[in-house]
Homo-oligomer: A and B are copies of this chain.
């Protein structure tokens, strides 16, 4: 294995809990991990599946979603470069409550749970780091709950675009780096695909968004923000 594939040398690690691991622990992770390439649209794991480890995102974006009883998928979180997926299930020793599907082509590392659990019980710094990140996820989940229940679909879609720009940026021509389908956006904000399409069309007509092929870009961020806040 080339040295760039060793966790010790992986830059990604700086963004997640693995940065709190000792050299020996990292070596263990590195020796037991496997790399995976996942194509856009492919599943990484399914809701209800027992996870034998966690997935560290090296490249690409994954949508974490949960199927509701009415057959619709609700996207609960987008996981990006550096983020670790599946830790909640491993920690709680439960099957996954979410499915993970690649939004674009991805590179992942799979780390067997034994190494993780082992470190969790031995290295308080690592455990605390995992805890800190989960505390952050929980806060974000609280925010999502409030937004979904108190804001209109229009507000939430406006907010989604601001989020996409803030978290994934835009290219030289001002188009969003991460392009989600209308259906995915609908599943993020919790609405019907048609409603989502309608509102995006409206935003384009009003000069808030622009589009070129599959790409969408923000033209008037301030107005979008005002809209999201309810003005």
Chain A positions near chain B (C-beta within 8 angstroms) = 66, 68-70, 72, 74, 76, 87-88, 91-92, 94, 97-98, 120-125, 127-128, 130-132, 134-139, 141-151, 189-191, 229-230
Contact = CB atoms under 8 A, between A and B. Distances in A.
Work out how many copies of this chain go into the complex: 2
A230 to B, nearest CB: 6
Given A74-B145, A122-B124, 14 more contacts: A74-B149, A87-B135, A88-B139, A91-B132, A97-B139, A97-B142, A127-B128, A127-B131, A130-B131, A134-B134, A134-B138, A145-B190, A148-B149, A148-B190
A146 B92 contact: no
Contacts of A74: 145-146, 149-150
Given A125-B121, A131-B134, A146 B88 contact: no
A78 to B, nearest CB: 14
Given A98-B142, A120-B128, A128-B120, A92 B149 contact: no
B120 A124 contact: yes
Counting chain B CB atoms within 10 Å of each CB, the highest count among A68, A120, A230 belongs to: A68
A142 B141 contact: yes
B69 A229 contact: yes
B91 A150 contact: no
Contacts of A70: 150-151, 230
24 contacts: A66-B145, A68-B147, A68-B151, A69-B150, A76-B145, A87-B135, A88-B135, A91-B132, A91-B135, A92-B135, A97-B139, A98-B142, A120-B131, A121-B128, A130-B131, A131-B131, A138-B138, A138-B141, A141-B142, A144-B145, A145-B145, A148-B148, A148-B149, A149-B190
B139 A92 contact: yes
A141 B132 CA distance: 17
The 5 closest A-B pairs by CB, nearest first: A149-B190, A68-B150, A141-B141, A127-B127, A92-B135
Given A70-B150, A146-B66, A92 B141 contact: no
A88 B149 contact: no
